[in-house]
């Protein structure tokens, strides 16, 4: 039998292991990317390895998250990132150049290559035919040092797209349909590989949108073939030499198959407060809207904003709606400025935001109290917008624009015939805000503001782990719940003692104080614990507070790996009924930790209630060694 595209790329990059779903493998990484909210810590970790130059084919440091400069911290960290990149062989994309995923697709993504990024939406470049995976910053730092990336060989799911999308239905509706079918847990341990005749009808930005939100499924990544559409996009970006045709074999095998009839899809919306809470837009007719924002790494391309323009040009936004547009890159913004679209958007009533992540991570544009906001983003977790009681709906650019005109959630299908939206015939490429690394690195001084603190030490654990249950949580706890983002907290990302004070602050404002006073302890969670972003601060900050283990019903992939990387033991209840028996305040104890860990099944004593239960440690030998060493840096002998 033939081979699918995912396995072809993995096979070419395989360093160790076998291509058997569920087995441990390691792969060579060609490219890495970081953004400023995760990059500062990743580069501090890389620096601790005492390596003089990155060993990847290409590494890029983007600034797109912390561009709201209320204090000195963000600008100081940008200068650290710029000087660090110059010294260690990394390309640096300056603030204002755009969002990392949009930019990487435009300027650097190469079909058939591997990309590891310290951002959960790194799979966006799968639209280019890359094997693009999100990971914690420490994994990215190790990849930059030349180490292979370790992962579990995923299942490969064929998503067969049939036919073409109807008028005013877009790529956002395709991925929302998948989320509706599979939920936010449905992609764990899987790669979604798109195929079928419907693929040819999707432009590169459409494919990028679908791959971007594959992260919300919990997937390892998503990927499209590299075909004539890919070649045309690379030619437009004056990178045609990077194109290679990459297709699955005609008789390729897959672990699962999903069929989507594109013509049968309708405009969809993810309702509060989860990306999988999906309904038809038509069923939400009449819901009044206070705010509409088009942007984020999901839907800020030229194609997306041209669709918005076709809907609002010559009209006025509802007086009851605050309407904002954030182009995904400087290239997109300049194109809109040159062809007159930007002027028409402004005339319609749009507020033009910076080419950055901004509102998607709670960095500005918070909705009104109790407000309804429609966003073309990828996540609508409660409180992520910056307003705790806001209702956030995730929609396509088409639905967003039409709803902004009418002041209520509205189905754009009512607009009738849809105009053809084409990419421009030619582009003027300007990479002046992408700085190449220095040819004289020994002369570069890395600039460090007072907010940048050294990495904390990670001690080797003893044979006895004991502590209070500091907090008990339900299902689908997100990394936003664990380590919130936003304008107040994100500037502290390079200062672990300071940022640790905000761990679980939205759920328990006294958590950090209680954890420190108790000398650390345990966290108990439900299913899919740690879903969401790749931010390793959601592991390293609890570790700083003394958290020793998390016992949950199940974990999200990236957070599970990050917990291990920083020496926090992730355990799964062997019997989920035991979850009900454990409460906050109970005292848990694990004896003979080292020997028990190696068995994969640990006995946990609840000394407060006088019973024992079993918990599984589904770990590889490598992961066991990391935990026993206290951290990945310790285990790799990279620290100091």
**pLDDT tens digits, residue range 577-602?**
999 999 999 999 999 999 999 999 99
Could you read off the pLDDT of 405-444 as tens digits, one per residue?
999 999 999 999 989 888 888 899 999 999 999 999 999 9
- Give CA separation, 501 vs 151, 186, 493, in Å: 31, 33, 12
Q: Give buried/exposed letters for 570-606 (b at 16+ CB in 10 A, else e).
A: bbbbeeeebbeebebebbbbbeebeebbeeeebebbb
Nearest to 220, CA basis, from 7, 35, 371: 7
pTM: 0.94
What are the pLDDT digits (tens) for 132-158? 999 999 999 999 999 999 999 999 999
pLDDT per position as a tens digit, 401-410:
999 999 999 9
Long-range CB contacts (within 8 A, 24+) of 502-509: 502/541, 503/541, 503/542, 503/545, 504/471, 506/383, 506/388, 506/480, 506/481, 507/471, 507/473, 507/481, 508/471
For the chain, which residues make up each domain, given as ranges?
Answer: 5-264, 268-414, 465-635
Predicted confidence band of residue 459 (pLDDT cuts 50, 70, 90): confident
The number of angstroms, rounded, from the C-alpha of 443 to the middle of its chain's C-alpha atoms is 35
Is residue 24 predicted with pLDDT exceeding 60?
Answer: yes
pLDDT band per the 50, 70, 90 thresholds, residue 639: very low
Pick the residue with more confidence: 68 or 99? 99
Listed in sequence order, the residues at least 6 apart from 30 whose beta carbon sits closer than 8 Å to its beta carbon are 13, 56, 57, 58, 110, 113, 114, 115
For residue 640, what pLDDT is reported?
Answer: 42
Percentage of the chain beyond pLDDT 90 is 90
Q: Is 258 exposed, middle or buried (0-12, 13-18, 19+ CB in 10 A)?
A: middle
DSSP string for 583-594:
-TT-EEEE-SHH
Q: Which residue has the tokens 């990544």?
A: 221
Sign of the CA dihedral running 395, 399, 402, 407: negative
Determine what percent of the chain is predicted with pLDDT higher than 70.
99
CATH class entry, domain 5-264 = alpha beta
Half-sphere exposure of 607 (CA within 13 A, CB side): 10
Cα(121)–Cα(509) distance, integer angstroms: 29
How high is the pLDDT of residue 488? 84
pLDDT tens digits along 377-394? 999 999 999 999 999 999
Provide the pairing of β-strand 611-616 with 569-573.
antiparallel
Q: Do the domains at 268-414 and 465-635 have one common CATH topology?
A: no
CATH classification of 465-635, choosing from 3.90.1150.10, 3.20.19.10, 3.40.50.150, 3.30.540.10? 3.20.19.10
CB 230 within 8 A of CB 204: yes
DSSP-derived secondary structure letter, 70: S
**Tokens linked to 595:** 């020997």
**What's the angle, vertex CA 381, arms to CA 118 and CA 556, rounded to 5?**
50
Residue with tokens 């060993």: 55
Pairwise CA distance, residues 283 & 231, whole Å: 39
- How many angstroms separate the CA atoms of 482 and 569, rounded? 16
318-329 average pLDDT score? 97
Strands 14-16, 24-27: pairing is antiparallel
Mean pLDDT of 249-254: 96
Compute the distance between CA of residue 120 and CA of residue 111 in angstroms, rounded to an integer. 20
Task: Give the H/E segment covering residue 91.
Answer: strand 91-93
Tell me yes or no: is domain 268-414 CATH 3.40.430.10. no
One-character DSSP codes across 431-445: -TTEEPPPS-GGGPP
Is the confidence at residue 472, as pLDDT, over 70? yes
Instruction: Return the pLDDT at 591.
Output: 96
């Amino acid at each position: 039998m033939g081979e699918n595209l995912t396995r072809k790329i993995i096979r070419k990059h395989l360093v160790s292991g076998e291509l058997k779903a569920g087995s441990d493998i390691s792969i060579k990484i060609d490219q890495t990317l970081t953004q400023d909210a995760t990059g500062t810590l990743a580069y501090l970790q890389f620096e601790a390895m005492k390596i003089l130059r990155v060993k990847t084919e290409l590494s890029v440091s983007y600034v797109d998250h912390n561009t709201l400069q209320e204090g000195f911290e963000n600008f100081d960290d940008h200068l650290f990132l710029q000087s660090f990149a110059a010294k260690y062989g990394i390309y640096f994309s300056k603030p204002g150049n755009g969002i990392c995923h949009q930019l990487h697709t435009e300027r650097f993504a190469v079909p058939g290559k591997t990309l590891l990024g310290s951002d959960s939406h790194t799979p966006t470049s799968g639209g280019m035919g890359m094997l693009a995976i999100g990971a914690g910053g420490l994994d990215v730092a190790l990849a930059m040092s030349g180490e292979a990336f370790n992962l579990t060989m995923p299942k490969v799911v064929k998503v067969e797209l049939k036919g073409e999308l109807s008028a005013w239905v877009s790529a956002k509706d395709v991925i929302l349909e998948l989320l509706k079918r599979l939920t936010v847990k449905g992609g764990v341990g899987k790669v979604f590989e798109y195929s079928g005749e419907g693929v040819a009808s999707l432009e590169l930005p459409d494919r990028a949108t679908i791959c971007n939100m594959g992260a919300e499924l919990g997937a390892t990544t998503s990927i499209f073939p590299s075909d004539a559409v890919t070649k045309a996009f690379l030619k437009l970006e004056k990178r045609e030499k990077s194109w290679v045709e990459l297709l699955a074999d005609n008789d390729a095998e897959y672990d699962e198959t999903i069929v989507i009839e594109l013509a049968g899809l309708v405009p969809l919306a993810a309702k509060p407060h989860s990306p999988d809470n999906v309904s038809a837009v038509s069923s939400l007719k009449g819901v009044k809207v206070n705010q509409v924002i088009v942007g984020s790494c999901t839907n800020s391309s030229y194609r997306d904003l041209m669709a918005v323009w076709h809907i609002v040009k010559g009209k006025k936004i509802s007086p009851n709606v605050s309407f904002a547009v954030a182009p995904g890159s400087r290239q997109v913004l300049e194109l809109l400025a040159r062809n007159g679209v930007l002027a028409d958007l402004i005339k319609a009533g749009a507020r033009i935001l910076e080419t950055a992540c901004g509102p998607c991570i709670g960095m500005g544009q918070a909705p009104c109290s109790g407000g309804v906001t429609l966003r073309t983003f990828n996540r609508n977790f409660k409180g992520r917008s910056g307003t705790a009681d806001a209702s956030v709906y995730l929609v396509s650019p088409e639905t967003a624009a039409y709803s902004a005109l009418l002041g209520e959630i509205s189905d754009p299908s009512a607009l009738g015939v849809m105009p053809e939206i084409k990419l421009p015939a030619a582009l003027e490429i300007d990479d002046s805000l992408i700085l190449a690394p220095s040819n004289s690195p020994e002369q570069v001084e890395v600039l460090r503001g007072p907010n940048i603190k050294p990495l904390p030490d990670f001690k080797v654990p003893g044979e006895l782990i004991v502590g209070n249950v500091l907090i008990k949580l339900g299902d689908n706890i997100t990394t936003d719940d664990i380590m919130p983002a936003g304008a107040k907290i994100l500037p502290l990302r390079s200062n672990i003692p300071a940022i640790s004070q905000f761990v679980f602050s939205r759920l328990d404002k006294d958590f950090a104080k209680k954890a420190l006073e108790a000398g650390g302890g345990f966290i108990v969670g439900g299913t899919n614990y740690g879903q969401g972003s790749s931010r390793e601060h959601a592991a390293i900050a609890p570790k700083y507070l003394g958290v020793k283990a998390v016992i949950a019903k199940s974990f999200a992939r990236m957070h599970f790996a990050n917990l291990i990387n920083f020496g926090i033991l992730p355990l799964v209840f062997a019997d989920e009924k035991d979850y009900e028996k454990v409460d906050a305040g109970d005292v848990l104890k694990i004896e003979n930790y080292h020997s028990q860990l190696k068995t994969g099944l640990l006995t946990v004593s609840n000394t407060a209630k006088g019973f024992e239960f079993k918990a599984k440690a589904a770990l590889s030998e490598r992961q066991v060694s990391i935990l026993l060493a206290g951290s990945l840096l310790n285990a790799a002998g990279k620290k100091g």
